[in-house]
Amino acid sequence: MDQKKTEPGSSHCNGMSQVVLYGEFTATDNIKVRYSLCLTELDLTVQKITSATAGQSKLVFNLRDCIGCQAFKGDDSTDVGAYFSAFFYPFKKRWMSSGVARQRVEQCFRVELGQDPFANLEEAQQWARTINEYSAHHRPHREGVLYSQVRQPCRVMLLLNPYSGKGQALALFNTHIQRMLTEAGILYTLVITERQNHARELVREADLSQWDALVIMSGDGLLFEVVNGLMEREDWETAIQTPLGILPGGSGNALAASVHHYAGYQPLLSEELLLSCGFLLCKGLVSQMDLVSINTSSNQRLFSFLSLAWGFVADVDIESEKYRYVGAARFTVGTLVRLACLRVYQGRLAYLPAEEAVHPAEDTPPLPPSAFCASLLCQPSKASSNQNTFHNSCNSNNAIKARRGEAPAGAPRGPRDSLLVPLEQPVPGDWTVVEEEDFVLVLAMYQSHLSEDMMAAPDSTLQDGLIHLYYIKAGISRTALLRLFLAMEKGTHMACDCPHIVYVKVRALRLEPLSPKGVITVDGELLDYGPVQAQVHPGLARLVCV
């Protein structure tokens, strides 16, 4: 088959960008149907070659929506042609509702320059390499954020809890994520967790040199295990720099929703959110992420990436476990049940106000400033020869929540809490002390979302070095509280001008419950009930995001 090429820069496709490659190929299923392909630095234009007026049957695919392109030989040994497929996930209008969501589009073509199968394959490989190269130049990123590189070729351990959410995580992986990783050329090993704290034990003992990223497909609880497993290692300083990826497979999916929000995209839920997060994982920018150290009166020290909650939010999180079978709607049901019997808790609260955003601590290894376009893309390979999938008998990581987080014997690891004093001592003089108060809730957030559809801290970012502290005082009506939570879907709850809610940005805090019974949660996980204090550690972890 004839193929025409232009020298790069000799012409423009659509009159906009320089042409990198041009060729004419046939359809994979019908060699009588021919297409012209024009690849520029920005996009791939596909046009069906017919006698019709020029411009008809033309499709333009932006390379920023491409996660990979692969070249391959056909299954028929007598076929001298070669093939290449490019995989795009552009935003397109939903079929049955308003708004847009990413939808998969594959473009596959047959190359036959002549009867030499090696020359045909070489040409297909050139197209695949070039598309991959230029799509890597167009990864989404935010101004002012530094990114690090992932080693190439990348190797990913993907930890999956099959019982998270409605128990569909494994089916969703098989339907969407497995294909996306293969299309992006990402080598992975799938590990299905067997029991509570299984992931924590795995990463605590694993040889991390085998992996370039750890990806979690579950709710936020599994990532909580992984973070604390990394921080319990002797080499925690380097271990916690292992890039972490998050794919929503649970009920809350707060971090996944936050990552999607940070990318500047419209809110999405369920499988649409999963597809978006899978796309961001495959594009593979790695940013810093703040962690918060949590200290309890029982000398327990944990690390948190999402939230610390006491009162209404914590009650709903734990008590709604019985509605897990309805998925994310469990929180709605739990909220309505708790509103019907609103509780008030007595306690003391103190915090260190943050006058300005905190930059990463001096002892936190900085990201290379020149590495802002890192990718998880690897060389194309057949998944069957490069992945080991372990299917174990499984129990839910998020079954009725027992106290978790007990570290191995020995001194707690991690950076020093320079802003905190022992819990038995008074807080420092530069702290703000809230007089003994009756609270409906206390909520400390360090990501934008509390769940898929609750933007509790819209001003939060991954690495702002801040704890976004909210507390609601007793006296608020059920109607006003419900109005606040409804407004939280769009992050407009502070515009409700409710006198009972207080919001302040802090660097550290101390909470001392005085009510004899109650629930405190960290990242949705049950914590020992009693006095607790926390400090943010800016940029301590790494997260695959934008």
Known catalytic residues? 220
Contact 507/536 with Cβ under 8 angstroms? yes
Burial 41-80 (b: 16+ CB within 10 A, else e): bbbbbbbeeeeeeeeeeeeebebbbbbbbbbbeeeeeeeb
Residue 45 to residue 49: CA distance in whole angstroms: 12
What is the SS3 string spanning 283-330? HCEEEEEEEEEEEECCCCEEEECCEEEEEHHHHHHHHHHHHHHHCCHH
Nearest by Cα to 58 from 91, 89, 35: 35
SS3 (DSSP) at 110? strand
Residue type for position 445: M
Residue 397 to residue 192: CA distance in whole angstroms: 11
Residue 162 to residue 139: CA distance in whole angstroms: 31
**CA neighbours closer than 13 Å in the CB half-sphere of residue 146:** 13
SS3 (DSSP) at 270? helix
SS3 (DSSP) at 73? strand
Cα 406 to its chain centre, rounded Å, is 26
SS3 (DSSP) at 350? strand
Nearest by Cα to 442 from 502, 400, 382: 502
Nearest by Cα to 244 from 197, 291, 195: 291
Burial class (CB in 10 A: 0-12, 13-18, 19+), 499: exposed
What region, left, alpha or beta, does residue 264 occupy, with left being phi > 0 and alpha being psi -120 to 50 degrees? Answer: left
